[in-house]
Amino acid sequence: MKISTKGRYGTRAMLELSLRYGEGPIMVHEIAESQGISVRYLEQILNTLRTSGLVISTRGAKGGYELYKPPSDITVGDIIRALEGPFDVVPCTGEYDCERMGKCVTFQVWKEVKEAIENVLDSVTMKELAERKSKLINNDELIEYII
């Protein structure tokens, strides 16, 4: 499985919303500028995240997007599933039934790979990513101060 720009940019957009959680709706152009994503592409991504129930949108002059639930309740796995679909590394670990299923020696390996990916992505919340971002910012400021 390869995560596309849609999944990566969607995670970055959700990180931005997590960093600003509780501030009310954030305009698309603000998210796009902060994260270096084209507004047009970001609108498509946010629309998918909205239909998946991860963000809500508000129209109007003070409108924009915000998280539907707290950052601690949203995982990277939730975002990637919404934007990319299931974590099937090969067709047979999904809904596809292979004629070799009962005799395939490698099926268990692919299943374990899929589960490992799910476990990692489902174990990282947006709150944790926001905390990691804060630590990076603080470390950069410290380094700049020392130099």
Amino acid code (one letter) for 143: I
Q: What whole-number distance in Å separates Cα of residue 19 and Cα of residue 70?
A: 11
User: Domain range spanning residue 61?
Assistant: 5-146
DSSP string covering the chain: ----HHHHHHHHHHHHHHHTTTS--B-HHHHHHHHT--HHHHHHHHHHHHHTTSEEEE-STT-EEEESS-GGG-BHHHHHHHHH----SSGGGTTPPPTTGGG-SSHHHHHHHHHHHHHHHHH-BHHHHHHHHHHHHHHHHHHHHH-
Total structural domains within the chain: 1
What integer pLDDT is reported at residue 64 of this predicted model? 95
Instruction: Tell if the pTM clears 0.75, that is, is over it.
Output: yes
Tens-binned pLDDT, residue by residue, of the chain (147 aa): 689 999 999 999 999 999 999 999 999 999 999 999 999 999 999 999 999 999 999 998 888 999 999 999 999 999 999 999 988 888 777 766 677 777 788 888 888 999 999 999 999 999 999 998 888 777 655 554 444
- Give every CB contact of residue 66 below 8 A, 6+ residues apart in sequence: 17, 21, 23, 24, 25, 26, 55, 56, 58
Q: Kindly provide the b/e burial profile for residues 15-30, where b requires at least 16 CB atoms within 10 angstroms of the residue's own CB.
A: bbbbbbbeeebbebee
Contact present, 94 and 22 (Cβ < 8 Å): no
CATH number at residue 85: 1.10.10.10
What integer pLDDT is reported at residue 20 of this predicted model? 94
